[in-house]
Amino acid sequence: MMNFSLVDVKSITSNEPRSNFAETDLENLADIIIDTGGIARPLVVKMTGVESYTVVDGHFEYYAAVIAREKNPRQCEMVNAFIISPKDEDKIFKQVAVYRRLDSENKAEIKTPIEENKNNSKLISKNNEFNLLEKQINDLRSELAQERQERQKLYDTLRLIENQIPKQITPLEAFNSLPLLELTFRLRTASLNDKKAVQIAESLEKERKKKKFESLKDVMERVKVTSGKKQIKGISGDKMVDIVDSWSRILFV
């Protein structure tokens, strides 16, 4: 079975020397490829590795495609080709051998008027095949361009939605950045009474003005509140766990 596909010219190699073909002929075909956007006779290639291929038939067209890509990398990056599967390789080689023998015999024959007419008919048929293939290539390019546009639109939409989603801040960022009133309210959500919440919030604001808190442990060590005549820790380890747990269910923006 053969799959028709567009293949990167850079991923293809040929075991037939380029010197077997006249450079003038290669240059002429390369210019035609650039003008038409593709080759009328697709390459027949087989896969030799991941995204690498070798030419089975169409060595002349391949080298012309290489020159076309050198002249116009953007337009001629890809070439249309039939990719043969390993299990069908022998069958395809037999077909290629038959076609090559026929081509060789046709070149050696002396053309009669009848043969000229046949050749003209073949030429017309080839032109029709070329036109059909050109249409298929253009349709494929249009589909690929449309697909790229749709993917870009989807990406832009997702990025817009992502930018509109409020970003959650961490408890440490909350301790370092929330205004005093907001901080007091958030502390109350962690089951602190009004007085204790106000004391801790005021101590937090006082300490963070001196230096930003570097960790939750730093918060517990530096935040003090008055209890009688003593200064004690405002937030114990257990209470910090309660605060973090409570705030994890609240979206800070």
Of 89, 106, 123, which residue is a domain's last?
A: 106
7 with 91, same domain: the answer is yes
pLDDT band at 3 (very low <50, low <70, confident <90, very high): confident
Token couple for 90: 């022998």
Is 50 a domain residue? yes
Helix ranges (H only) for 87-170 are: 89-108, 113-164
Whole-angstrom distance, CA of residue 168 vs CA of residue 252: 5
Decide: 80 and 140 in contact? Cβ < 8 Å: no
Total domains in the fold of the chain = 3
3 with 91, same domain: the answer is yes
Asked whether the predicted pLDDT for residue 78 surpasses 70, the reply is yes
Residue 51 belongs to domain spanning:
1-106
98 with 46, same domain: the answer is yes
Decide: 199 and 225 in contact? Cβ < 8 Å: yes
Q: How far is CA 239 from CA 33, 180, 219, 230, in A?
A: 75, 19, 12, 19
Element containing residue 78 per DSSP (H, E): strand 78-84
Whole-angstrom distance, CA of residue 38 vs CA of residue 42: 9
Of 165, 183, 205, which residue is a domain's last?
A: 165
Is 55 a domain residue? yes
Cα four-point dihedral sign 176, 181, 184, 185: negative
238 with 183, same domain: the answer is yes
Percent of the chain with pLDDT over 90: 42
100 with 136, same domain: the answer is no
84 with 102, same domain: the answer is yes
Is 253 a domain residue? no
1 with 102, same domain: the answer is yes
Closest CA to 212 of 161, 174, 157: 174
123 with 185, same domain: the answer is no
89 with 140, same domain: the answer is no
Q: Across the chain, how many H-helices and E-strands are there? A: 9, 7
Give per-residue pLDDT as tens, 175-227. Answer: 999 999 999 999 998 888 999 999 999 999 999 999 999 999 999 999 999 88
